[in-house]
Amino acid sequence: MSQRGKHEGGPPIDRRWEEVNPWEHEDARLGPRRLLALMRASLRLVWRASPAETINLLMLQTLSGLALPIQVLAAKWALDSIFDASRSDSGMQDALPAIAVALVAMTAGQIVAATARYRQLLLPELAGQAAQEMLAAKAVAIDLEALETPGFHDRLNRAQNEASFRPANVVADMAGIVSSAVAVVGLAGLLLAVHPLLVAGLLTSMLPLSWASMAGGRAYYRYAVRRTPKRRLMGYLQGLLTRLDSAKEIRAFGCGPYLLEHRQQLFGEEMADLRQLIRGRLRRDVLATLASAAVNGGGVVFILWLHFSQRISLAETVAAVGALLLMLPRMNVLTQAIGQLHENALFVEDLWSFVAVQSKQRTPASREAMPATLTALRVDDLTFRYRDCDVPALRGVSMEIRLGETVAIVGENGAGKTTLAKLLCRLYDPESGTITWDGRDLRTCDPDELRTQIAVIFQDFMRYDLSARENIGFGDVGAIDDSSAIAAAAQRAGAAGFLAALPDGYESRLGRRFLNGHELSIGQWQRVALARAFFRDAPLVIMDEPTASLDARSEHELFKTMRGLFHDRAVLLISHRFSSVRMADRIYVLRDGAIVEAGTHDELIASDGLYAELFSLQASSYMERPD
């Protein structure tokens, strides 16, 4: 299902991905409105992940906030009772109920805090999964061009690494703020009864702490943005050093130590940056703590002065000093939570602005359904340039493929053959010129719908480390359970023999990445990829070097099969093998992105141009005797 244009419950942002460049939210500042919007969006995400756990979290946090003022009140009551009991000589039993209540309040508070601590572990897991799914859905729906932009991957990488816990953190911070605020307000109420100046002092002492915490959060976010490209490179190098597909070459060429050193160097740079960040945060925190301690110290002196000038009783003095001392850690928690909320919200902003960006390829609002057939696919004066490239990969290309025809494209490496195949699948849109499907411009077609009408095998086809059935079934996921159709596609691609011989037949896992996987040869993988294309019942078939890894006999067999199989399709064949190209109804020759020759094999040989030259070069290398 396409995710284009969906905000997934996030705060509204409407930008296309190519306008979000660089893919960074560098200024690291959030206004109050944006912050509120992000808090709402995080709450929605977390709520969607688990309403029960969200309620649990909010409830337990608020309860643990209430526990502290209750504990202090109980302690004050207990103290009062002890003083009264000792003054009136009425005995210990008068003080006991108050002490018992204070102890019960303390224990209950601890139990609530412990429950909150453990229950909190669940929500980030659930919300993290929901965020990861959102990211994957976006990545799979966005234009291919976006995935070729390094900034996109930096952003995705950051979003993926942080998505797992930041939205849940925002909610936990919100709850933490509520809970600490409840405690602080409760305790402040006790102080207010003693003297209003104490509360004013307390609020002042929070300012430096909040400033340090917010500035620290911003600095951390900027650091995270700076380190992402390096982290990605480090991850890539780590992959090269540890993955199966690079293992052969890395060993054969002995480049492991070189790659390792490169990785270490990057890590060293990152650590230097992190050390600097930590120094800055620590400096700010120490300064803020000193400033706040000075104000609070003044508060304690003021309480003592109130007592010794006979303005408040001993019990009031002890309770006020106690409340102040208990408040300090709570205030610290409160200011930390405010700073963390800001920091977490910056990462959530990152996540949402990533999820909210729109594809460049927009499907028109009123769209007709794609025709299920194809009479003629026409390419007219097509020019295309890859993003950030000066030289066009295709220049003024015009060609046609009609139903029942096999059209071949030949040309040297880098001529633009694969690029043309990708444009026909609307993986990119042309810079100028048009591609029309029975007269309908591809730009007016929904890309997903268009692609259901095309069976394509790419030059760099995928090898899925999944079952053989899935490897073929991905050609038409709707029919993935149709075992007999899958076997028939494998048969046509010459893959049935070796797949059926696997221990679990088509259910056997291919590749060696996971347990009980079976590795295939490259040619066998190519046949599986061919079977995938054959499995899709589509009027347009595009094959980019479909037989590059096949042996001569298999290639011959395959083309014999294909002639029968595709007699009622339009086939575009890209190949360097002239033996397979020569049977095409029409051949286009691409050079530096432009079509320089077109015709049948015989016509092109007769015209003695590039095709004839390439053909005779290949043919002669088969015929010539080595000296």
Interface ranges with ligand ATP (CB under 6 A): 148, 386, 389, 393, 411, 413-419, 459
Closest distance of CB 415 from Mg ion, Å: 8
Quick one: 417 or 492, whose CB is closer to Mg ion?
417
Q: Which stretch binds Mg ion (CB under 5 A): 63-71, 334-342, 411-419, 602-610?
A: 411-419
Chain residues 551-580 in contact with Mg ion, contact rule CB under 5 A? none
Quick one: 458 or 506, whose CB is closer to ligand ATP?
458
Closest distance of CB 573 from Mg ion, Å: 12
Closest distance of CB 31 from ligand ATP, Å: 38
How far is CA 257 from each of CA 227, 253, 263, rounded to the nearest angstrom?
Answer: 23, 11, 10
φ, ψ of residue 122 in degrees (nearest 5): -75, -45
Burial 331-345 (b: 16+ CB within 10 A, else e): bbbbbbbbbbbbbbb
Q: How far apart are CA 393 and CA 417, in angstroms?
A: 9
3-state secondary structure of 367: coil
Quick one: 25 or 417, whose CB is closer to Mg ion?
417
- What token pair was written down for 279? 């120094």
Q: How far apart are CA 238 and CA 227, in angstroms?
A: 16
Quick one: 220 or 458, whose CB is closer to ligand ATP?
458
From ligand ATP, Mg ion, none, which one binds at residue 414 (CB under 5 to 8 Å depending on kind)? ligand ATP
- What token pair was written down for 565? 């199989």
Instruction: Write the single-letter amino acid at 14.
Output: D
The answer to whether 252 and 237 are in contact (CB under 8 A) is: no
From ligand ATP, Mg ion, none, which one binds at residue 175 (CB under 5 to 8 Å depending on kind)? none
Q: How far apart are CA 211 and CA 213, in angstroms?
A: 5
Quick one: 307 or 385, whose CB is closer to ligand ATP?
385
Closest distance of CB 147 from ligand ATP, Å: 9
Closest distance of CB 286 from ligand ATP, Å: 50
Work out the angle between the directed axes of helices 522-535 and 483-492 (0-180°, nearest 10).
Answer: 120
From ligand ATP, Mg ion, none, which one binds at residue 132 (CB under 5 to 8 Å depending on kind)? none
Instruction: Write the single-letter amino acid at 424.
Output: L
Closest distance of CB 148 from ligand ATP, Å: 5
Residues in the chain: 627
Q: How far apart are CA 40 and CA 11, in angstroms?
A: 8
Write the binding mask 433 to 462 for Mg ion: x where contact by CB under 5 A, - elsewhere: --------------------------x---
Q: Which stretch binds Mg ion (CB under 5 A): 151-159, 292-300, 413-421, 447-455?
A: 413-421
The full DSSP string for 302-362 is HHHHHHHTTSS-HHHHHHHHHHHHHHHHHHHHHHHHHHHHHHHHHHHHHHHHHHHPBPSSP
- What token pair was written down for 280? 């800055």
From Mg ion, ligand ATP, none, which one binds at residue 416 (CB under 5 to 8 Å depending on kind)? ligand ATP
How far is CA 21 from each of CA 18, 24, 80, rounded to the nearest angstrom?
Answer: 6, 7, 66
Q: Which stretch binds Mg ion (CB under 5 A): 24-32, 90-98, 350-358, 415-423?
A: 415-423
Quick one: 173 or 544, whose CB is closer to ligand ATP?
544
From Mg ion, ligand ATP, none, which one binds at residue 608 (CB under 5 to 8 Å depending on kind)? none
Q: How far apart are CA 520 and CA 513, in angstroms?
A: 12
Quick one: 157 or 459, whose CB is closer to Mg ion?
459
Quick one: 73 or 581, whose CB is closer to ligand ATP?
581
Quick one: 443 or 576, whose CB is closer to ligand ATP?
576
From ligand ATP, Mg ion, none, which one binds at residue 176 (CB under 5 to 8 Å depending on kind)? none
From Mg ion, ligand ATP, none, which one binds at residue 73 (CB under 5 to 8 Å depending on kind)? none
Quick one: 388 or 602, whose CB is closer to ligand ATP?
388
Closest distance of CB 416 from ligand ATP, Å: 4
Maximum Cα–Cα distance for the chain, whole Å? Answer: 125
Closest distance of CB 566 from ligand ATP, Å: 21
Closest distance of CB 158 from ligand ATP, Å: 23
Closest distance of CB 176 from Mg ion, Å: 55
The answer to whether 453 and 440 are in contact (CB under 8 A) is: no
Closest distance of CB 217 from ligand ATP, Å: 37
Q: How far apart are the first and last CA of the chain?
A: 60
Q: What region does 608 belong to: left with phi over 0, alpha with psi -120 to 50, or beta?
A: left
Instruction: Write the single-letter amino acid at 317.
Output: T
418 near Mg ion, judged by CB under 5 A:
yes
- What token pair was written down for 514? 């996971």
Quick one: 88 or 413, whose CB is closer to ligand ATP?
413
Residue ranges that bind Mg ion, judged by CB under 5 A = 417-418, 459
